[in-house]
Amino acid sequence: MDERAYDDVVIGGGASGCVMANRLSANPSRRVLLLEAGGRDSHPMITMPKGIAVVSASPRFTWRHPVSRPRLDRLDIGETWVNGRVLGG
């Protein structure tokens, strides 16, 4: 068997991805790979309540998705959706 072969690959180490990888790996005969683009969530700004402003503005900790929503009074309203980019979401 190839050392790099996996039975399951979970992409995204957010809350649900970590749970899924944990449950799949409960079976010792299965090889599970969890892929996460971000780092660990051990930075002090992540655990500090007032750190949310620093964390949400930093591309190190978040994915930023610019989107636009059409409205009747204006053609294009821009906004940014932010998702966590650390292990655990």
Instruction: Please state the pTM of the whole predicted model.
Output: 0.70
Confidence of residue 65 (pLDDT cuts 50, 70, 90): confident
Return the higher-pLDDT residue of 34 and 65: 34
Residue 23, pLDDT score: 97
Tokens of 70: 């059409």
Residue 54, pLDDT score: 86
Query: Does pLDDT of 1 surpass 60?
Result: no
Query: Does pLDDT of 10 surpass 60?
Result: yes
- The beta-strand segments (E) located in 1-89 are 8-11, 32-35, 62-69, 77-84
Query: Does pLDDT of 28 surpass 70?
Result: yes
Which CA distances in Å does 30 have to 5, 14, 20, 22? 10, 21, 13, 11
